[in-house]
């Protein structure tokens, strides 16, 4: 297979700029690098369906009828994550880093603990809302990020709209379920994986940070 650079159009080998197969164009890239109207409409429809799917899942699983008996799956939310969010909020409001959490057991490390996710940008929500509301908003935001990021990654890799939609739903289903019981473990890091993959694919394909 012959490879060409994205600028000169001549065959290139060795350690030069990363090339792409001759005649290959990513999905949605027309002759002038623009998305055609038909493709753009399909992508927007797929994104709308993703948003509806996430909203449906959230309403049924989180805003549905109250569970009359204790939910073992959600136990960590009450004995781990809400106390951790409370500790982070008090530290941020005091203008300090939450190095230590006095509300778990006899006290536990906070900044050094993966479960707390102290450095996640979503923790800034604690400056404006309660710990429970921040936990809820952070979780749904990461679920949405997972869905949209996976769809964009699949489209960038050449998958069709339907295939990308299936990939987004399948991957996000796992992230969403994991986020409900332990949001800082599989949910938040997992949501960024397709976003990082999308950036890496675009960078390796075009070799320019501005195209990421």
DSSP 3-state helix, strand, coil percentages of the chain (rounded to 5)?
60, 5, 35
Return the pLDDT at 4. Answer: 40
Q: Please, which residues bridge with residue 21 across strands? A: 3
**What's the pLDDT score for residue 2?**
40
* pLDDT tops 70 at residue 69: no
Residue with the bigger pLDDT between 138 and 19: it is 138
Distances from the Cα of 168 to the Cαs of 58, 83, 98, 147, in angstroms? 16, 32, 35, 5
pLDDT at 13: 41
Could you give the CA distance from residue 173 to residue 57 in angstroms, rounded to a whole number?
9
The phi-psi region of residue 95 (left if phi > 0; otherwise alpha if psi is between -120 and 50; otherwise beta) is: left
Provide the 8-state DSSP code for 53.
H
Q: Alpha-carbon distance 47 to 149, whole Å?
A: 11
User: Token digits for 2?
Assistant: 């012959």
pLDDT over 60 (residue 148): yes
pLDDT at residue 153 tops 90: yes
Work out whether the CA dihedral 113, 78, 72, 136 comes out positive or negative: negative
The pLDDT-based confidence of 205 (bands split at 50, 70, 90) is confident
Q: Are 18 and 116 in contact (CB under 8 A)?
A: no
Which two structure tokens, joined as six digits, stand for 135? 């936990």
Q: For residues 6 and 184, which has the higher predicted lDDT (pLDDT)?
A: 184
In this prediction the pTM is: 0.71
Mean pLDDT of 42-63: 84
Residue the block writes with tokens 């709308």: 48
pLDDT of amino acid 164: 93
DSSP assignment, residue 211?
G
Confidence of residue 166 (pLDDT cuts 50, 70, 90): very high
- Read off the pLDDT of each residue in 31-58 and give the average, rounded to a whole number: 76
């Amino acid at each position: 297979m012959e490879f060409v650079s994205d600028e000169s159009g001549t065959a290139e080998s060795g350690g030069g700029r990363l090339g792409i197969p001759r005649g290959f164009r990513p999905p949605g890239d027309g002759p002038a690098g623009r998305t055609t109207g038909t493709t753009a409409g399909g992508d927007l429809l797929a994104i709308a369906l993703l948003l509806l799917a996430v909203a449906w899942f959230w309403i049924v699983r989180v805003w549905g009828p109250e569970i009359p008996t204790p939910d073992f799956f959600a136990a960590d939310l009450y004995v781990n994550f809400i106390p951790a969010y409370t500790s982070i909020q008090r530290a941020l409001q005091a203008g300090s880093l939450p190095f230590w959490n006095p509300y778990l057991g006899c006290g536990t490390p906070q900044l050094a603990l993966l479960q707390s996710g102290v450095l996640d940008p979503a923790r800034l929500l604690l400056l404006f809302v309660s710990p429970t509301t921040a936990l809820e908003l952070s979780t749904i935001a990461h679920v949405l990020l997972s869905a949209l990021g996976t769809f964009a990654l699949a489209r960038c890799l050449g998958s069709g709209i339907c295939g990308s939609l299936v990939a987004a739903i399948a991957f996000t289903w796992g992230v969403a379920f994991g986020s409900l019981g332990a949001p800082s473990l599989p949910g938040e890091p997992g949501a960024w994986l397709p976003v990082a993959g999308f950036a890496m694919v675009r960078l390796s394909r075009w070799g320019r940070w501005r195209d990421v």
